[in-house]
Amino acid sequence: MSIYRASHTQALLLLVMTNVIWGTTFPLLKDVVSTLSPQALICTRFLIAAIALIPFCRHCNRQLLKDSFVLAVPLFLAYLTQVVGLETTPANRSAFITSLNVILVPILGVLLGRSLSLPVAIAAALAFTGVGVLSWQGGAFSVGDVWTLGCAISYASFILLLEKIAPRQPLVALTTWQIIWVAILGLLWSGGNIWQELPALQANWGAIVYLGVIATAATTWTQVIAQRSLAATEVAIIYTLEPVFAALFAFWWLGERLGIRGGLGAGVILVATLISQLRPGQIYPLLPKIFQRK
């Protein structure tokens, strides 16, 4: 199935819309996990997403299954740690900590022999300072914050693996099979006990369908279409909108407020994310004169 190529403006709007949808998932997940186990939520969400994508999957072979499983493991861990973290961490704080994956990608790339640029090094220092300020708003760095940081690390690992694997596999088939694997891993994690949660599943069915069809399957398409027409730096900057939208929806839906300290920490994380996308030559004029060479 061919993928529509959007104009630059259409691609920008699509990616912004995608980030709006992703932003809604944080307060929604926070609400759902209050009555449904993370195991049942992940299993049913990705099962529905897989069913929505299967009609477009035209390929299957041993290497595809292997590659999709390799991608599914860190993706599953990312969603697992995110949902477990949301049980004790506010949705708005979870969104900003999760956004650290943008900075963690080049940092983890160092383990693969890649160099670390000056902007990324500065951004990393700022970002983790921002997380400290943001997370200390409640008086302590919570267990939920640690789980959420694990989500950012897992998703950054997924991005690095995807960069290596994606070019050698059909995109739709690779995406579909990795979603199927995540659903299977969720089922194994639950020990097959999700049927004991049928009342909770029925009570949250609308939210689960939204998460599976719209927030997972549909955004897979919009993300791919948008990124075919946008530069990587543009994409990374738009991704910084996700935690902003999440904070807005968390305020509207759950009444969560960041507070002065939380807002300061979130702002530092956003600035760090933007700086991480600069080239060394672009950040040099921004440094104070005392740090510039004569």
Rounded (5°) CA angle 218-224-225: 90
pLDDT at res. 81: 94
Classified as helix, coil or strand, 108 is helix
Cβ distance 33 to 86 under 8 Å?
yes
pLDDT in tens, 204-245: 999 999 999 999 888 877 877 776 676 655 666 677 778 888
Given pLDDT bands bounded at 50, 70 and 90, which one contains residue 293?
very low
Question: Residues of 204-241 as b/e, b for ≥16 C-beta within 10 angstroms?
Answer: beebbbbbbbbbbbbbbbbbebbbebbeeebbbbbbbb
> Average of pLDDT values for 82-96?
87
User: Is it the case that residue 136 has pLDDT exceeding 80?
Assistant: no
User: Taking residues 108-137, what's their average pLDDT?
Assistant: 73
pLDDT range class, residue 294, cuts 50, 70, 90: very low
Res 213: pLDDT: 93
Question: Percent of the chain having pLDDT more than 90?
Answer: 20
Residues 240 and 19: beta-carbon distance below 8 Å: no
Ranked by mean pLDDT, which of 112-121, 210-219, 271-280 comes out on top? Answer: 210-219
The pLDDT tens digits for 8-18 are 788 888 888 98
Q: In whole angstroms, how far apart are CA 21 and each of 141, 167, 259, 260? A: 28, 27, 24, 26
pLDDT per residue over 22-45, tens digit each?
A: 989 999 999 998 888 888 899 899
Distance of CA 290 to the CA centre of its chain: 38
Contact partners, residue 220, CB within 8 Å, separation at least 6: 49, 53, 175
Residue 117 main-chain phi, psi, to 5 deg: -75, 165
Q: How far apart are CA 95 and CA 30, in angstroms?
A: 11
Average pLDDT, whole number, for the chain?
Answer: 80
Structure tokens at 10: 């259409």
Which carries the bigger pLDDT value, residue 129 or residue 281?
129
Q: pLDDT, tens digit, for every residue of 41-73?
A: 998 999 999 898 888 777 788 999 999 999 999
Torsion angle of alpha carbons 24, 155, 175, 53, nearest 10°? -20
pLDDT for the residue numbered 234 = 65
**pLDDT over 70, % of the chain:** 84
pLDDT of residue 292: 45
**Tokens standing for 200?**
């909770």
Q: How confident is the model at residue 290 (pLDDT cuts 50, 70, 90)?
A: very low
Q: Where are the domains of the chain?
A: 8-291
Which residues, including other chains, have CB under 8 Å from residue 290's CB and lie 6 or more apart?
none
C-alpha to C-alpha distance for 143 and 170, rounded to whole angstroms? 39
3 pLDDT higher than 60: no
Taking alpha carbons only, the member of 6, 18, 40, 85 closest to residue 222 is: 18
> Can you tell me whether residue 121 is helix, strand or coil?
helix
> In whole angstroms, what is the distance from residue 101 CA to residue 106 CA?
9
User: Are the C-beta atoms of 120 and 283 separated by less than 8 Å?
Assistant: no
Higher pLDDT, 128 or 147: 147
